[in-house]
Amino acid sequence: MGRVTADQSGSRGFGSSSSGVWCDDASAGMAARLAQLGFDWICLDMQHGRYSRHEIIDVARGLPAGFAELVLRVPSCEFTVIGAALDAGARAVIVPQVESARQAQEAVAATFYPPVGDRSWGQFGRLWGGATLTVEEANSSTTCAVMIESAAALLAVEEIAAVEGIGQLFVGPYDLSLSLGTTIPALLDDESEGNPLARIVQAAATYGRTMGGFAGTPELAERFRERGISCVAVATDLWITAEGARAALGSRSSVG
């Protein structure tokens, strides 16, 4: 059984080698607690999780400073949604279903202020007296991560990675394996020449991008790191709840 341990030495943020927790259902209070347990970043899932614009503001308002960085998986490559995620205080956005250089360029344009992109000014921190960033600070400290999670994205991965402003390629293993007609274990086991994960990792290295991915459990996270994917969601809020219940109840637990 995998185990997540707290590390109070300080987080590294959403970087080239980091461990994050992925939240589908955590309340603002629970997200604040998770952020203090030693993870480098905490990601709110707006695509397949419960988070609306209102709820991400509630979470951002309550997050303690100096712990895990806030990351948002936005629901689409849409200008106002990406801007709202960043205005709430996210230091990175993970943009799903990016399948072309043009879509990657759209994600970059929504992520960064001019002259790099077209992001509109209006950070939410000012609403509650929280921190806000200057244009220069935001542009230098924000990461635009694009998800490679389909056969079409894999086919165009080199062109996507080449887009200026892309900071990370982020593997979505569930949709990628579905699109390729395989399974996550088979995807991770594939060592053939030019295999999908190796191709994505090579494209990131060629253009100086970091590599990220969703694992969801510590066991899968280890497999991801073995394949050169080092910025990893190592657990989810739902997994942590289930494992906590199992630990508390021992063999009597039937949590699944």
Catalytic (active-site) positions = 48
For residue 20, give the 3-state DSSP assignment: strand
Question: Which parts of the chain are beta strand (E)?
Answer: 18-23, 41-45, 69-73, 92-95, 143-148, 168-171, 210-214, 231-236
Query: What amino acid is encoded at 120 in this protein?
Result: S
Whether residue 199 contacts residue 156, with contact meaning beta carbons closer than 8 Å, is answered with: no
How wide is the angle at C-alpha 204 spanned by C-alphas 2 and 199, nearest 5°?
80
Place of tokens 């289930």: 242
Give the number of other Cβ atoms within 10 Å of residue 209's Cβ.
Answer: 25
Buried b (16+ CB within 10 A) or exposed e, 2-30: eebeeeeeebebbbeebbbbbbbebeeee
Structure token pair of residue 14: 């959403």
Phi/psi of residue 72, each to 5°? Answer: -125, 125
Q: 53 and 127 in contact (C-beta within 8 Å)?
A: no
E strand residue ranges, 75-219:
92-95, 143-148, 168-171, 210-214
Question: Is residue 115 reached through a cis peptide bond, with omega within 30 degrees of 0 on the bond before it?
Answer: yes
User: How far does CA 101 lie from the centroid of its chain?
Assistant: 20
